[in-house]
Structure 1
Amino acid sequence: MRWRLIGGVIGVLLWSAPIYAENPGQSPQNLRRAAINSICLNPVGVVKKQGSRAWLEVFPEYAPALAGLQDFSHLWVFFWFHGNDNPEERRTLQVHPRRDPANPLTGVFATRAPVRPNLIGFTACRIIKVAGNVVEVADLDAQDGSPLLDLKPYIPGGDAIPEALTPEWLKRSKPPAD
């Protein structure tokens, strides 16, 4: 009774045993199985980068989903950290943020590190142009060839949190020069 991945890096996770959510006194594993019977991540496109230029090439069947995106100045890009998709990187649960040993060892859920149990990344980008099934963007923090999982418009009233707090290490550290 284990999860198995079907379809490569991003495919379908299937649980190989039946789920009985109504059983009282369930173990945490049973609760997890009841909450997530299967997960399907279907890439909707791929990141293309050349120097400082970047494009989000959406697969043709998803091109209609781009309608109206040109009316926004920015968007959130959700992608798969495919360059870190190996068992060792997925087991990494603590890092020095921004790859700076001066920063405290911190859990990956409290960082934006690309190593994590599920390699879902996201970044905010400026939209330059939407044409056909391609979105040209600026400020994309993803690698060439990264599978696109989703695109969502950036909505200042809902996405900005002016009173958000951050730890001291973030205030004094600089991003890595990658």
Structure 2
Amino acid sequence: MDCCFNYIGFVRRDDNSTSRKSIVKIEIKETYAEGLKDIEEFSHLIIIYHLHLADPNKDLKRIRGGVEVGVFATRSQHRPNSIGISVVELIKREGNVLYVKGINAFDGTPILDIKPYDEWDSVPNPKVPEWHKLNETI
């Protein structure tokens, strides 16, 4: 089944990198701006976005740390569905613009949804394989 989404906003960044260390603007369309009410009461957000520049990839295996693994065991942008997700720190809000740190998306990346990060989303000491630790930037 096919589906479609409405873009609620876009990533705006000056450096046009994917560095998670940069403070990045997420500009929400005015149509959706009232949905941001009280969002600044949260320290972190979950940003769901469309990886619009990635080629959907039908190859379901990747090499990570010299190990062949399935695409769903990676954070690769080349996946069957071009959906990205990042947990970001909310630095501040100015009207319909969120200033965040921690997203690895290019300038112009369309935003699909925003959810608050809360105690439900916290997993202390998750198990992570060694090969994944070697590829944290991918």
TM class by shorter chain equals 0.7 to 0.9
SS at match of 1:64: helix
Q: Give the structure with higher Rg (CA).
A: 1
Partner of 1:103: 66
Q: Which amino acid aligns with 2:8?
A: V
Q: Which amino acid aligns with 2:131?
A: W
Q: Structure 1 residue 42: deviation in Å?
A: 1.0
Q: Distance in 2 between matches of 1:168 and 1:128?
A: 32
Partner of 2:132: 170
What fraction of aligned residue pairs are identical, expressed as a percent? 36
Moved over 2 A (4+): none
Partner of 2:18: none
Is 1:144 aligned with 2:123? no
SS at match of 1:91: coil
Q: Which amino acid aligns with 2:43?
A: S
Q: Distance in 1 between matches of 2:102 and 2:83?
A: 18
Structure (1 or 2) with the greater helix fraction: 1
Q: Structure 1 residue 58: deviation in Å?
A: 0.6
Partner of 1:47: 11
Q: Distance in 2 between matches of 1:49 and 1:152?
A: 21
Is 1:91 aligned with 2:51? no
Is 1:125 aligned with 2:88? yes
Q: Structure 1 residue 57: deviation in Å?
A: 0.6
Name which of 62, 72, 78 aligns with 2:32: 62
Please, what TM-score do these two structures have when normalized by structure 2? 0.86
Q: Distance in 2 between matches of 1:153 and 1:45?
A: 16
Q: Distance in 2 between matches of 1:62 and 1:146?
A: 17
- In structure 1, stretches of 5+ residues that fail to align are 4-12, 14-38
Q: Which amino acid aligns with 1:77?
A: I
Q: 5 Å matches for 1:66-81?
A: 66-81=36-51
Q: Which structure carries more relative contact order (alpha carbon 8 Å, separation 6+)?
A: 2
Q: Structure 1 residue 163: deviation in Å?
A: 4.9
SS at match of 1:109: helix
User: CA, structure 1 residues 113+174, in 2 after alignment: closer, same or farther (shift >3 Å)?
Assistant: closer
Q: Which amino acid aligns with 1:175?
A: E
CA deviations 1:97-117 (Å, max 9, x no partner) are 3xxxx3311111111111100
Q: Distance in 1 between matches of 2:135 and 2:72?
A: 19
- Residue-pair matches, total: 132
Q: Which amino acid aligns with 1:45?
A: G
Q: Distance in 2 between matches of 1:129 and 1:58?
A: 14
